[in-house]
Amino acid sequence: MPTDTILIVDDDQSARRLLGEYVDSFEFGYDTAEGGEAAIRKLREGNFTIVLTDMIMPGMDGMQLVKHIREHHPNIGVIVITGGQAFSYTDVIKAGASDFISKPFTSDELEAKLNRLVREQNLVRQLEQISLRDTLTQLYNRRYFEGKMLAEAQRAERQRYNIFLAMVDVDNLKGHNDKTGHQSGDKLLQAVSRILQQSIRENVDWAFRYGGDEFGIVFTQVESSQIAKVTERILSKYGQEGFLGTGLSFGISRFLRHPGMTWQEDIDDLVARSDKALYAAKERGKNQVVFDEAS
């Protein structure tokens, strides 16, 4: 099954059919739209890698569509098809197009441009993934958390389900490093990472390294009683790793939407309450779980 899907936009049905045959022969998936307005609806509903659009169309023309895509779908590449109209290369690139192709063109030319753009997009995605991962543990990092937390909080509000944040801190890591060396400390952090990943639901919950010896888990579509069972399993698995003198402390809070507060203010409040619960776990003897009172 093709992994890259192309949206073909042209008001001419025969042109859409021909381009579809080309794209299909290149082994890309594709869909079509008969104009700019229809393309916007398809982009809102579908998952596309590239838009291949004509420039002269009734209603919303190609230039307007390119500007809309750059503003609302910045990760989608756009190749515009020109036919000697009053749109220059500079015009379309300034508007946000990735490339252009002039009529008449051959299938080989179109295939080359599509493949080049796909390679560039794949490289960008790989670099983005690298920038969002912690090098030592391969968990998502704090930068990823900040974007993911907002998206998950907004989705939870729309679909009316609970979302929790667990902050996790390694107890006595400094003492462990002093006794056994930093290489052993790195292995400990990698073990915590592995345990967290094994204990949560893939593509439903997310684990990340917040910084230093502090980790986090975003739990979605779940109740506090279920989280309590998960954290109990995590503590049990960690205890079996044999890192004597250390433990894991958890501070957990539920996301709350407050009237008059921005999304970022509510997320900051969530983090603050999780931190407060984490400190309480430390004060109560460490290696345990404390839920925020509002959770």
Catalytic positions are 213
Neighbouring residues of 156: CB distance < 8 A, sequence distance ≥ 6: 162, 163, 220, 221, 255
Q: Per this entry, what is the length of the chain? A: 295
CA of 115: how far to CAs of 43, 48, 109, 140, 247, in Å? 21, 15, 10, 29, 50
Q: Looking at the DSSP assignment, which residues form a beta bridge with residue 217?
A: 166, 207
166 vs 270: CA distance, rounded Å: 10
Residue identified by tokens 């539920």 is: 254
DSSP 8-state assignment for residue 241: T
C-alpha closest to that of 31 among 59, 50, 55:
50
The answer to whether 53 and 9 are in contact (CB under 8 A) is yes
Pairing of strands 29-33, 5-9: parallel
Q: Please tell me the chain's helix, strand, coil percentages from 3-state DSSP, rounded to the nearest 5.
A: 50, 20, 30
248 vs 226: CA distance, rounded Å: 18
